[in-house]
Every structure is written in C-alpha cells, then in structure tokens.
Amino acid sequence: MDSFLIKGGTPLRGEVAISGAKNAALPIMAACLLTSQPCVIRRVPNLSDVRFMGQILNWLGAEVRFSDGNVRVEAKKIKGAGDYDLIRKMRGSFCIMGPLLGRLKRASVSLPGGCVIGARPINLHLKGFKSLGANVKTEGGYVHASAKRLTGGRIFLGGRAGSTVLGTANVLMAAVLAEGVTVIESAACEPEVVDLANFLNAMGAKICGAGGPTVTITGVSELRGAEHEVIPDRIEAATYAIAAAATNGQVLLRGARADHMHAVLDKLADSGVRLETSAEGLTVRRNGRLKSVDITTLPYAGFPTDVQAQMMALMALIPGISIITERIFEARFTHVSELARLGADIEIEGPSAIVKGGKPLSGAPVMASDLRASAALVIAGLAARGTTQVNRVYHLDRGYENMDIKLRQLGARVQRIEES
C-alpha cells in the first residue's frame, strides 16, 4: 500500500486547480443508465472511486470510455443486477439502484461498502422505492426491487441525522421515469444533488426545487442523451484552504465556488483566515495569529462532516480550546488517535472532541483510517516539524485527484512511496 512521506514546515504558496466533485460525478455517471443514448460528462476527477463506477457500469452492459477528464457512457442494453465484488468497495455505488429500477423496473444490487465512519443505513432509499410502488426485499447480502410500473407519490426522506444525500439521488433517479408526480420532502439540499438534477433535466427530466427541502418530479416516458460538466469539489477546495491556513501560506483555489462553501469559509474567517473571491476562484491566506473556533457538523448548508477532520487538524495548531461536535456520523473521530501521535492534545467526550490547541506537532508514522481522516493527517504533517509518513493513502486516492502532485506544485515536500 502506498504512503506519503511529508517533510513539514513549508508554507503552501501558488495556485491549485480544483477538480470536479466526486460526490456529484458518481451519481451522474449512474444516471447515464437511464437512457440508451450516449452521454458525455466533463470535468470528471481521475479517482479510484470513479474508476470503480466505470467498471460497475461496464459490468452492467454499458460502454464506458475515459479520456482527458471526460467520460462517455452509452448504455444501450443493460442488466439489472450489480456485482458484489465491485459494489462492496464503495458506498456510492449503491446509487445504481435508482436508475436500474427506473429504466428496467427491476434491480438487484449488493449492499454497499465504503469508509468505516459509522452506520449509514439504506433504509431511506428503500422507503423511497417502496413509495414509488416497488416491491423491495433484502436477502443474501443483496437488495432486490421490482415493479410492474412505478407511480409518483409523496416521499419523506428525513432521517436521524437529517436528509440523506445518496438516498435523495437514488429516489430522484427512480422517480424521473415513474408515472405521475413525485414529491420528495426533506430532500438533501447539497450542491451535488442540484448538479444531478441539472443533468437529469438536460436528459429530458422534469425536476423542480432541487437545492431546497421539497423537490417535485413529473415523470416522463423516456430520457435522451446529454452532455454535462461536473461542479467543482467543495470538499477538496476546503481541504486545500485549510492546508494553506495551517502552513501559514497563500493559495489560489482556481475554480472553487465560494457559494458552495459558506459554512467552512465562515469558520475560517472567524478564526482569522483572510479570504478573497474573484472570477478565478478563491484566495486563502494566513493573516497572522489565528484563534480557535467551535464547530458542529450539520446537513448542508451547515458545516460539512467531510471537513470536520481537516478543521480539527487546524484547530490542533491554534492556541486555545475548540470544541468540535459530530452530528452526522457516530464513528468519525478515528483520526484523533493518529493526530495525537503527532502531538495533538484532543479528548473525546461523547459526540464532541475537545481540542487543546497550540502545542507544536512533530512528525511521526501515522495510519489513515478513512478518506477525510487521511486528509487531516496530511494537513497536520505539512505543518509539523520533521517527517511524517501517512500510510494507506489509497483512502486519499478515492477522493483527491493527484493530491501529492498538487501539493508539490504548491511547494510542499511530499513524496509518494509506492509499495507492491
């Protein structure tokens, strides 16, 4: 397994191009199953998760071609069952269920895998499919759904931790080919859901209200092929913004959309980080001494859980006490013990982490446990004295395109150690 060898202490300076959003690209690729006509998706990040999705679509019978950040998908004839060995590798692959059910009126998909960050049940997905008239059962590690026809209905998708992003996407894709009108209440409001809805509308769907808690879908008989450009990855942009602040640097996040990052930018500004928006993107610079801030993760447009670990790494560097409360996933503090190996002083009390910041960090070998925890360890390593080795960076390769290369372009001393 590959690792990153990081020699810390160098401020990040320059500019970095923000890639397309993984969490938008995956369901958009899956949505191509809804039509037999070819679709072209632009600005698709070169990530292991994206390549896995390509393999899944290919296994289902679609022709998938990758070329210079573009993906062409043509799903003339497809089958309604997803392969276990592929789907178990990432949770996002379960979003093929909706389009398979919508187009074929039947689907058998294995239960998904992904990062170990706490329970992420699919009960709301299944509730949505049932509300559309599908018969759904789970057995042998697979979810089976079928219907003679899908009919619109009113569906409530609120859960214990708020709206479900993947569930909203899945039900949305099934509903576009259902008869009548479907209304999703407590729909996820994330920009990635809006991006999917925009793509589906370009295919001929009739979706109103995406980006708000109530989404209305008027079913159509068929969809056509379309072209679409994926939105910039707000989580990648937030990660590099935090890395710039942590290293006392100045970085232009080229292509970043500040309107998708209000909660993160608000907390960075509160801590003393200077932020400037322009036509080119977002410039982040350290403005002298920073101060600690408290954070609570919430569904969009609240502070994203996917940036919690990175902000914890920054707070560990800043004198003072900050309290970081995780309200989305109950097991998303696995990075705390590894940050402690670098010298961070953090205590866990229930759903909160109490960060006593300001102690200097020093390099050490650390182990990545999930995608965003990996990013936090990289940020800490960039700011630490000495050398940090972040092991198992295959997690990073799932969600950050060429992170080691991009960091080197900003002046970081990062080397990828390839292991067989």
Q: How confident is the model at residue 120 (pLDDT cuts 50, 70, 90)?
A: very low
> 212-247 burial string, b = 16+ CB within 10 Å, else e?
eeebbbebbeebebbebbbbbbbbbbbbbbbbbbbb
Whether 181 and 259 share a structural domain = no
**Cα distance between residue 281 and residue 148, in whole Å:** 48
Chain-wide mean pLDDT for the chain? 94
In the listed set 209, 229, 249, which residue is the last one of a domain according to the structure? Answer: 229
State mean pLDDT over 345-356.
Answer: 96
Structure token pair of residue 91: 């949770």
Whether 314 and 238 share a structural domain = yes
**Cα distance between residue 413 and residue 397, in whole Å:** 18
Q: Which residue would you say has higher pLDDT here, 44 or 118?
A: 44
State mean pLDDT over 232-243.
Answer: 98
Whether 214 and 272 share a structural domain = no
Whether 80 and 7 share a structural domain = no
Whether 29 and 14 share a structural domain = no
Structure token pair of residue 59: 């296994």
Q: How confident is the model at residue 118 (pLDDT cuts 50, 70, 90)?
A: very low
Q: How confident is the model at residue 199 (pLDDT cuts 50, 70, 90)?
A: very high
pLDDT value of position 113 = 53
Whether 166 and 215 share a structural domain = yes
State mean pLDDT over 336-359.
Answer: 97
Q: Does residue 342 contact residue 335 with C-beta atoms inside 8 Å?
A: no
State mean pLDDT over 104-123.
Answer: 69
Structure token pair of residue 18: 């923000």
pLDDT value of position 112 = 72
Single-letter amino acid, residue 186: S
Q: How confident is the model at residue 114 (pLDDT cuts 50, 70, 90)?
A: very low
pLDDT value of position 203 = 98
Residue 282 has pLDDT above 80, yes or no: yes
Q: Does residue 4 contact residue 420 with C-beta atoms inside 8 Å?
A: no
Whether 15 and 159 share a structural domain = no
- Looking only at the bridges linking them, the beta strands covering 365-367 and 158-159 are unpaired
Q: Does residue 252 contact residue 13 with C-beta atoms inside 8 Å?
A: no
Cβ-based burial of 202 (10 A; exposed 0-12, middle 13-18, buried ≥19): middle
Whether 130 and 215 share a structural domain = yes
State mean pLDDT over 258-278.
Answer: 98
Whether 132 and 10 share a structural domain = no
**Cα distance between residue 330 and residue 138, in whole Å:** 25
**Cα distance between residue 178 and residue 222, in whole Å:** 10
Of 76-85, 276-285, 370-379, 380-389, the least confident: 76-85
Q: How confident is the model at residue 82 (pLDDT cuts 50, 70, 90)?
A: low
State mean pLDDT over 54-79.
Answer: 96
Q: Does residue 27 contact residue 166 with C-beta atoms inside 8 Å?
A: yes
Of 49-53, 119-123, 191-195, 391-395, the least confident: 119-123
State mean pLDDT over 143-160.
Answer: 94
- How many beta carbons lie within 10 A of that of residue 288, not counting itself? 7
pLDDT value of position 115 = 42
Q: Does residue 230 contact residue 21 with C-beta atoms inside 8 Å?
A: yes
Whether 119 and 262 share a structural domain = no
pLDDT value of position 88 = 66
The count of domains in the chain is 2
- Looking only at the bridges linking them, the beta strands covering 214-218 and 158-159 are unpaired
End-to-end CA distance of the chain: 7
Q: How confident is the model at residue 220 (pLDDT cuts 50, 70, 90)?
A: very high
Whether 298 and 247 share a structural domain = yes
Give me the domain span that covers residue 29.
22-229
Q: Does residue 275 contact residue 269 with C-beta atoms inside 8 Å?
A: yes
Whether 243 and 296 share a structural domain = yes
Annotated active-site positions, please?
Answer: 115
In the listed set 185, 209, 229, which residue is the last one of a domain according to the structure? Answer: 229
Residue 344 has pLDDT above 80, yes or no: yes
Q: How confident is the model at residue 353 (pLDDT cuts 50, 70, 90)?
A: very high
CATH, residue 61: 3.65.10.10
Q: Which tens digits make up the pLDDT trace of 375-403?
A: 999 999 999 999 999 999 999 999 999 99
